[in-house]
Amino acid sequence: MFVRTENFRTFTRLYPIITTIVAIHLILFLTANISQTFLNYTIGFNLLVWEGEYWRLVTPIFLHVSLTHFLFNSLSLVLFGPAVERMLGPVKFTVFYVLGGILANVATLLLHNDLYSHLGASGAIFAIFGLYFYMVFLRPDLLDSANSQVILTILVIGLVMTFLNPGINVVAHLFGFFAGTILAPFFLGRGTASRPRSLRSIFPSFGRSHAPRSSKQSLIWIILIALVLFGILSRYI
């Protein structure tokens, strides 16, 4: 589910919205590093939002100035976004992604001081994680136990990194996640599960001897570990 085996042409055909968002990331990253005026006009800045520049609730979702920030968020989107785009379809996925990012930025506006500035896709990406969290427990028909294990591990690591890394917009991460979880049933539906899936059913072998993992499972964990290490190390680069 999270292992990408498509070539570039196939990926762009199957996931046009993910492709478009990453392209926007790249274009805005280059533009923001070339033009300080453009950056000043698009960055999230609470005081100017309060003064009526409401586009600043949207533009930061696609804006990055650090190379590592741009790569980390774009890679996260490429790994974890395609399955959601296929489930929701292009239009619903676009609405969900942008709305999740806007709600994270609204929370930033309300809970940070007027002089706070911010940018980055993290709030919208955490909204995707929130949707996955909903699927893990309330839509088990859409997410099997193996992928649920990956998602819960990513969430734990993501939350730890949120509070450990300096300069992180903690409010955007948390409220992006909450927004995605709350929005999930409206975009996915409630399904037919009579009761939530338990942690025991997701991790049935926890504390027991483990069976050998398949090569596909190993590849998923290698990608996960590499992504986490890249995110942690990006604070020093």
Catalytic residues: 122, 173
* Residues 6+ away with beta carbon under 8 Å from 46: 108, 109, 112, 113, 114, 115, 116, 117
- How is residue 225 written in tokens? 């570990």
Question: Are 80 and 125 spatial neighbours (Cβ–Cβ below 8 Å)?
Answer: yes
For the record, the structure tokens of 86 come out as: 């296929």
CA 195 → CA 10, 138, 177, 192, distances in Å?
A: 38, 7, 22, 9
Strand bridging mode 44-45 / 117-118: antiparallel
State which H helix or E strand residue 17 sits in: helix 16-34
